[in-house]
């Protein structure tokens, strides 16, 4: 799961009440569908800092809830407001994410240079999704790179 540190960093997650945040603001159908159809409570999350001077995996988290409607889609003051979304048929969902561990940064350049990590969807050309699935084998490789 990618987040801009100015929006929500691994430190913000660690310091949040209950060390949990709602992963609001996802406005891509494919990313929404990953949350809705594939994420389950207890699943591991690679917390990736994006759109910053040093992008990369900055920590670990877990999925803390099933998918449920993102209230920001109904708030006209929110940057994530969607006038076409209706309360009886919400377009946008999110999950809650709970802090697990802050890690050393596994930076994007190191990830790109590692042949074993080339299958990660976050590294694929043209990928702009904030949420991408990771296989069990990819998860294990990343943990090894983080020395966990």
CATH number for the domain that contains residue 41: 3.10.590.10
Residue 41 lies in a domain: yes
What is the domain count for the chain? 1
| 148 band by pLDDT with thresholds 50, 70 and 90 | confident
Residue 147 lies in a domain: no
For 55-64, 119-128, 132-141, which range has the lowest pLDDT when averaged over its residues? 119-128
Domain that holds residue 30: 2-133
For the residues 49-76, what does the mean pLDDT come to?
98
E-state strands within the chain: 2-3, 20-22, 44-49, 56-63, 68-69, 93-94, 96-107
| 71 band by pLDDT with thresholds 50, 70 and 90 | very high
Residue 19 lies in a domain: yes
| 41 band by pLDDT with thresholds 50, 70 and 90 | very high
pTM tops 0.85:
yes
Report CA torsion sign: 29, 30, 34, 37. positive
Residue 88 lies in a domain: yes
Residue 98 lies in a domain: yes
Residue 34 lies in a domain: yes
């Amino acid at each position: 799961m990618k987040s801009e540190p100015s929006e929500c960093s691994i430190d913000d997650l660690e310091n949040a009440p209950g060390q949990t945040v709602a992963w609001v603001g996802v406005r891509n159908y494919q990313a929404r569908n990953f949350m809705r159809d594939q994420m389950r409570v207890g699943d591991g999350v690679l917390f990736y800092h994006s759109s910053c001077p040093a992008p990369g995996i900055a920590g670990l988290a877990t999925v803390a809830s099933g998918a449920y409607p993102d209230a920001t889609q109904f708030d006209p003051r929110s940057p994530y407001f969607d006038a076409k979304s209706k309360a009886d048929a919400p377009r946008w969902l999110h999950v809650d994410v709970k802090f697990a561990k802050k890690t050393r940064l596994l930076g994007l350049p190191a990830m790109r240079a590692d042949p074993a990590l080339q299958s990660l969807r976050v590294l694929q050309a043209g990928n702009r999704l904030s949420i991408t699935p990771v296989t069990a084998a990819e998860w294990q490789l990343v943990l090894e790179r983080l020395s966990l």
